[in-house]
Amino acid sequence: MSGSSQDELNQSANSQADIPSHIAIIMDGNNRWAKQRFLPGIAGHKAGAGAVRRVVEDAARAGVKVLTLFAFSSENWKRPQAEVDALMMLFMRSLKKEVKRMNKQDIRLRIMGEVSGFSDKLQAQIALSEKETQDNQGMQLVIAANYGGRGDISHAARKVCQQVLDGELNLDQINEETIASQLYLADLPDPDLIIRTSGEERISNFLLWQAAYSEFVFLPVLWPDFNKDDFQHAIDLYQQRQRRYGGR
């Protein structure tokens, strides 16, 4: 084997070892994508669904263990009713359509957020989709829907308070681990890398607790245009950084 071939193999092995275990993405830019093309906003959301399919496949192929996508925030209810209704319909359609694909790829689907805020029909579809993929052993795909980071922490705090009231927990036992254990999907690792598209550089109430030591990458591309090269670029930037967790 030539020296250059060996170098390529070593580089590939090192890159694989540095793949983030958990990647979270703030999928931003659907409306701007549609506006640039003089299309209605829902056209951007439909195009964004295609980007979701691509990034799920790319992440699973890269060896990512958990992929979390911020699909609908607890603040998104403030959008025009027609847009909210279209988003709910698209969410329902995507759940029905993608389960078969996820089972083929051995991907487990989990929904994170206040699911009770959705219609009974959508709640039933969410429960069915989660059940149909619950035995899959590959990548876990988390969809944050009706989710907010502050709400996540508040929800955890209420559960801890209830434990105290029930005599299951003493005040001096409350610490970071206690609260973290009550967050949504507390069994999953915190995100190593958080990507936001569209050029905006803010967290928008996403994974506030879990993002304490995440690396952030902000990309100018609008979400519907996000592709394999953009995904790889974000990972490349992540791999160039040193994570110190407050140390040296």
C-alpha Rg value of the chain to the nearest Å: 19
Q: Which of 10, 18, 76, 190 is flagged as catalytic?
A: 76
Q: Report how far residue 110's alpha carbon sits from residue 198's, in angstroms, rounded to the nearest whole number.
A: 25
Active site residue 76: yes
Contacts of 132 (CB under 8 A, 6+ apart): 99, 103
CA dist 98 and 139 (Å) reads 15
- Residue 57: count of CB within 10 angstroms of its CB: 15
Catalytic residue among 28, 152, 190, 192: 28
Question: Facing residues of 141 across strands?
Answer: 67, 109
3-state secondary structure string across 124-147: HHHHHHHHHHCCCCCCEEEEEEEE
CB 135 within 8 Å of CB 106: no
Alpha-carbon gap, residue 234 to 180, rounded angstroms: 27
Per the CB < 8 A criterion, the answer to whether 84 and 71 are in contact is: no
Active site residues: 28, 76
